Structure 1
Amino acid sequence: MEKNKKIILGIIIAIIAIVGVIAVIGIISEDKTPHVSMGGKTYYVGDKLVYQDLDNKSMLEADVIAIEGKYLWSRIPENNKTVYWDTEKEQGWTINNTNT
Structure 2
Amino acid sequence: MEKNKKIILGIIIAIIVVVGLISVISIISEDKTPHVSMGGKTYYVGDKLVYQDLDNKSMVEADVIAIEGKYLWSKIPENNKTVYWDTEKEQGWTINNTDT
Does TM-score exceed 0.5, indicating one fold? yes
Structure 1 counterpart SS, 2:96: strand
Q: How many corresponding residue pairs?
A: 100
Unaligned runs of 5+ in 2: none
Deviation at 1:95? 2.1
Gaps (5+ residues) in structure 1? none
Corresponding residue SS for 1:97: coil
1:3-60 CA-partner distances (Å, limit 9, x unpaired):
2221121111101101111101211221111111111111100000011111112211
- Report if aligned partners of 1:80, 1:99 keep a CA contact under 8 Å in 2: no
Identical-pair percentage: 92
Aligned residue for 2:83, secondary structure, equals strand
Q: Check conservation: 1:34, 1:67, Cα contact below 8 A.
A: yes
RMSD, matched Cα = 1.4
TM-score by length of 1: 0.91
**Is the 1:74–1:82 contact (alpha carbons within 8 Å) kept by the matching residues of 2?**
yes
1:6 match: secondary structure:
helix
| TM-score, normalization by structure 2 | 0.91
CA distance in 1, matches of 2:11, 2:26: 23
Consecutive aligned runs of 4 or more in structure 1 exceeding 6 Å deviation: none
